[in-house]
Amino acid sequence: MIGPLTTDGPACLNGSLQITAITSGTGPLSYSWNGPGVVQSGADSATVTYSSVTTGLYTLEVSNACGLDTGSIHVDVLSAPEAGEDSVHVTCTGNGTILLGDLLSGHQSGGTWSPADSHDPQVPGTFVYTYTVSNACGSDESVMTIQVYDVSNASWTAPAEVCMGTGPIALDPLVTGDPGGTWDGEGVAGASFDPSVGPGQYAITYSVGVSDCGSSSTQVITVLSGPDALAGEDAMVCGNTHQLSASPVQAIGNWSGPNGVQFIPGAADPSALVVVPGPGNYVFLWTVGDGQCWNTDTVQVTFLSDDISDLSVDAGPDQVLDIQSTTQLEGSSSGSSSLWTVIQGSAVFADATDPLTQVTGLGTGTNILVLTGSNGPCAERHDTLRVIVRDLFIPEGFSPNGDGVNDLFEITGISIYPDNTFQVFDRWGRPVFEEQGYANGWDGRGRSGGDLPDDTYFYVLNLEGDRTYNGYLVLKR
């Protein structure tokens, strides 16, 4: 026989449960357990342990040689208690009593609140409540924070009509309600309004406060255009005087500028003659007002000196080049700008505005280059540079008599070809002089070191790149 089945405690979700039966009868007894859980141990005994137990009916069959008996027990699985998620709720003073349970989601009922289960938002502040729920499988708690704010006052007073040229207007001083809010609207940047957006009416909104306790207020600012102020075109002039040309207006106008300037006949004349103390960039302000609004415009005038006494230009020393068509120019200028040009021959400048620049493409013969230095269009000086490019030249003779004139056989441009070979033969084809890398040092002596007789000789000059010259020379002392 099978007596009542008992468990070792509550059945908790995902836990294990031990079931025990009281049996009697003539042995041996055979046990067979069945249920929705997973048998962990004791399947053939009076006590069995199930893992991952779930709700359902658990049965035991006991048999012996005389028969079979069956017993069962229904098991309800308990879930771990859920107190819900921690949360924050915002409300305003005077909104009425809050039942905390109405705000808590995802929780099991039947728990307890501490210190209370409701809140009356009479004063601003932060208030913390704890909800705790328990059962045979454990306990859980969640925290609810109630933040209470006063209802904000966003009132402010719009200024009277403003003029487009008056400059930005600070908005925070216009607040008559709660400070610390934000501003929004066309022409608003941060906490200021710029009337230069143009004439018209602009809706500006001030917002202050937190969440549903905040408020906003919209007012209209009217911007008037005011008179036109046109100071004229910017200019660059020589000397220290300039005729200003502001557009005439019926409102009152007035010129102003840096210290030391004079307006003739006076600053109220739109076409006044301005006199400045020296060269430089000057900005003049033309202000026009009609009694209620005013406006401004500026004009910039650059006064350039026409005195060239302190302007110096040097194109550098003349140059003589052998064969090569490239050289470095060594000019200088004290002017604000410089420019190289060609008036004879040819040249290509790496930077025509740099007195110290490289030039290529020089033509054979005389090339005349000009360096111009200037201080604007009012003062400039020029200097010329001659660059002579000599082609390879082999003379037809020389006179090595020691008088210091034509004593050496000099080939113009030979230095460009340092790997040359120079050979000299007499009229019978016998070699009398030879030098690898000839550098214009032959003084008429032969291979033995003695003076060669006056006569006509023949030469062969081999340059780099299979370039060969043949000819004759006359040696005469």
Question: Could you tell me the CATH number of the domain that includes residue 464?
Answer: 2.60.40
Instruction: Let me know whether 377 and 416 are in one domain.
Output: no
Q: Is the pLDDT of residue 251 over 80?
A: no
Instruction: Let me know whether 182 and 241 are in one domain.
Output: no
pLDDT at 430: 95
Instruction: Let me know whether 402 and 386 are in one domain.
Output: no
Residue-range definition of the domain harbouring residue 72: 2-78
3-state secondary structure at position 177: coil
Instruction: Let me know whether 297 and 275 are in one domain.
Output: yes
In a domain, 229, yes or no: no
Order of strands, edge to edge, in the sheet holding 467-475? 397-398, 467-475, 455-463, 421-425, 431-436
Condensed to tens digits (0 to 9), the pLDDT of residues 201-234 reads 999 999 998 878 989 999 999 998 877 788 999 9
Q: Please state, in angstroms and as integers, the Cα–Cα distance from residue 8 to each residue in 34, 47, 49, 77, following that order.
A: 18, 10, 10, 13
Burial of 98 (0-12, 13-18, 19+ CB in 10 A): buried
Instruction: Let me know whether 431 and 466 are in one domain.
Output: yes
Residues ≥6 apart with Cβ < 8 Å to 91: 98, 121, 146, 147, 148, 149, 212, 213
Residue 421 token pair? 């070979």
Q: Is the pLDDT of residue 250 over 70?
A: no
* pLDDT classification of 161: cutoffs 50, 70, 90: confident
Domain final residue, candidates 17, 49, 78: 78
pLDDT at 183: 96
Order of strands, edge to edge, in the sheet holding 262-264? 241-243, 273-275, 262-264
* pLDDT classification of 83: cutoffs 50, 70, 90: confident
Residue of 219, 187, 221 whose CA lies nearest to 205? 219
In a domain, 230, yes or no: no
75, 56 contact by CB (below 8 A)? yes
Higher-confidence residue of 31 and 304: namely 31
Residues ≥6 apart with Cβ < 8 Å to 213: 90, 91, 92, 93, 149, 150, 151, 152
Q: Is the pLDDT of residue 148 over 70?
A: yes
Largest CA distance in the chain: 159
Distance CA 210, CA 92 (A): 9
Q: Is the pLDDT of residue 81 over 80?
A: yes
* pLDDT classification of 292: cutoffs 50, 70, 90: low
In a domain, 321, yes or no: yes
Residue of 157, 151, 153 whose CA lies nearest to 169? 157
Instruction: Let me know whether 200 and 241 are in one domain.
Output: no
* pLDDT classification of 249: cutoffs 50, 70, 90: low
CB atoms within 10 A of CB 182: 12
**What's the mean per-residue pLDDT of the chain?**
90
Instruction: Let me know whether 264 and 207 are in one domain.
Output: no
Domain final residue, candidates 373, 390, 407: 390
3-state secondary structure at position 274: strand
**Structural domain count of the chain:** 6
| Parallel, antiparallel or unpaired: strands 337-344 and 365-374 | antiparallel
Q: Is the pLDDT of residue 53 over 90?
A: no
pLDDT at 386: 96
* pLDDT classification of 299: cutoffs 50, 70, 90: very high
> Position of tokens 């000789």?
457
In a domain, 449, yes or no: yes
Residue 413 token pair? 């441009």
DSSP class of residue 115 equals S
Instruction: Let me know whether 470 and 406 are in one domain.
Output: yes
In a domain, 154, yes or no: no
pLDDT at 290: 66
284, 298 contact by CB (below 8 A)? yes
Q: Is the pLDDT of residue 361 over 80?
A: yes
pLDDT at 137: 84
Instruction: Let me know whether 451 and 421 are in one domain.
Output: yes
In a domain, 273, yes or no: yes
Written in H, E and C, the secondary structure of 355-422 is: CCCEEECCCCEEEEEEEEEECHHHCEEEEEEEEEEECCECCCEECCCCCCCCCCCCCECHHHCCCCEE
Q: Is the pLDDT of residue 139 over 70?
A: yes
> Position of tokens 């501003």?
183
Condensed to tens digits (0 to 9), the pLDDT of residues 113-125 reads 999 999 999 999 9
196-210, 238-252, 257-271, 276-290: which has the minimum mean pLDDT? 238-252
Q: Is the pLDDT of residue 340 over 80?
A: yes
Mean local confidence (pLDDT), 272-287 = 93
Instruction: Let me know whether 192 and 241 are in one domain.
Output: no
Distance CA 47, CA 339 (A): 112
Condensed to tens digits (0 to 9), the pLDDT of residues 162-196 reads 887 778 999 999 999 999 999 999 999 999 999 88
In a domain, 432, yes or no: yes
323: left (phi over 0), alpha (psi -120 to 50) or beta: left
The CATH number for 254's domain is 2.60.40.10
Q: Is the pLDDT of residue 457 over 90?
A: yes
DSSP class of residue 309 equals T
Mean local confidence (pLDDT), 278-306 = 86
pLDDT at 245: 92
pLDDT at 181: 93
Instruction: Let me know whether 380 and 402 are in one domain.
Output: no
Mean local confidence (pLDDT), 229-250 = 87
pLDDT at 464: 76
Instruction: Let me know whether 297 and 243 are in one domain.
Output: yes
* pLDDT classification of 2: cutoffs 50, 70, 90: confident
In a domain, 157, yes or no: no
Domain final residue, candidates 61, 78, 95: 78
16-25, 181-190, 248-257, 427-436: which has the minimum mean pLDDT? 248-257
Residue of 325, 362, 357, 364 whose CA lies nearest to 347? 362
